[in-house]
Amino acid sequence: MWRVMETPLNCAEEQQPPPAFPASWSTVTPQESPADRNDKGNAVGFVLVHAGAGYHSESKAKEYKHVCKRACQRDSPFTNAGMGSNLNLSGEIECDASIMDGKSLRYGAVGAVSGINNPVLVANRLLSEAQKGKLSAGRIPPCFLVGRGAHDWAVNHGIPPCPSEKMATKFSLSAYKRNKHKMELAEKVDTGFNHHSKKRRQASETENGSGLLDTVGAIVVDREGNVAAAVSSGGLAMKHPGRVGQAAHHGCGCWAENTSTLNPYSTAVSTSGCGEHLIRTMLARECSSAMQCEDAHQALLEAMQNKFISSPFLASEDCVLGGVIVLRCCRCSDAQPSPDIQAILVEFLWSHTTESMCVGYMSAQDGKAKTHISRLPPGAVAGQSLAIEGGVCRLVNTPTTVD
């Protein structure tokens, strides 16, 4: 069986005792094969998830952590990644999602898709269908579909549709009405809007929480050291219809890559934040490449600073918003008591320039999760500063004896 030994790094906030975790944690991640389970049928490996980078109030910390736990089980209506997503300007829900397999390096994605409750399932199906090879007449199978075409492809491949009106919740409808009212007011005033009213409007936006928890994502490593990453989002509140965010773009929403002759580590990344900022910097792939350096913590710090906050592609932006969860793993080089025993060293980190980011992590076998809301240091300015935390996990695979 697997044993997990964890060493937290730079945790600024004391974590709560780990609660019992749903057995179906892995259902939001790529579908498992029988090889990914031990003889008792339990999932094995390590998983790290996020439920969005943005602003998480202290008063709702318990709820946010609960959402982070549920995010690995299935999309929660409290987050913004399917049911309960933000509504666009037309009052409709359009979602983005992608998934990447580090072993095959294949990727599947959907963008601006409506009427599908769990868009990441469509992305996963695109990935698996592509692995079957070419279509009739030698056609290349799609890896990225958008809009109505993505919806119809999903239904034709057995993924049930969900009427758009059933995907909206009371919370998302209420937020849409508030945001629409704000936009109508904003259009009636000029740029000379007085400072007091501007401050009051900004405070109202924080209280309403529009645009928060915009994405859910997961990164995993199995007992063979294979990695995978997934991300799903409903996008920005009041976005233009047809807008596709980072969650669907290759190298922007997620990235996964197994070790190779060129890469000593297997790496997986999932992102959250302002989609346009993440797309222009291809942050997921940049962070993955950076993690091949010896010091993972320093590598991620430099990547977030140089490739994101100070990126020349975002030179015109005075507030750069984003967050990432990252893991890297390799076979342990230290001697094992038996050649049948294998160990994998997993380093996992998260970093963000937003005010806060909600994360959770666990060994899938022990069935318990730790959740944490990471926050910027006191006095730090969101969009200009960053926080970085993480830990180390050792996975030990011992052979199962058969009577």
- Taken in order 118, 72, 377, 284, is the CA torsion positive or negative? negative
Rounded to whole angstroms, the Cα distance separating 393 from 8 reads 9
Chain-centroid distance of CA 228 in Å reads 11
3-state SS assignment for residue 67: helix
The residue type of 353 is T
Rounded to whole angstroms, the Cα distance separating 8 from 102 reads 25
- Burial track 105-117 (b if 16+ CB lie within 10 A, e otherwise): ebbbbbbbbbbbb
- Number of Cβ within a 10 Å radius of residue 161: 13
- Number of Cβ within a 10 Å radius of residue 136: 5
- DSSP codes, 116-168: -S-HHHHHHHHHHHHTT---GGGPPPPSEEEHHHHHHHHHHTTPPP--HHHH-
Query: 27 catalytic, yes or no?
Result: no
Are 127 and 216 spatial neighbours (Cβ–Cβ below 8 Å)? no
Rounded to whole angstroms, the Cα distance separating 269 from 230 reads 8
Are 362 and 348 spatial neighbours (Cβ–Cβ below 8 Å)? no
Length of the chain: 403
Q: Which helix (H) or strand (E) holds 96?
A: strand 95-101
Q: The tokens of 110 are what? A: 């959907």
Q: Which of 7, 27, 169, 215 is catalytic?
A: 215
Q: Which helix (H) or strand (E) holds 207?
A: helix 195-208
Rounded to whole angstroms, the Cα distance separating 207 from 200 reads 11
331 phi and psi angles, rounded to 5 deg: -70, 140
β-pairing verdict for 95-101 and 227-233: antiparallel
Q: Would you please indicate which residues are annotated as catalytic (active-site) residues? A: 215
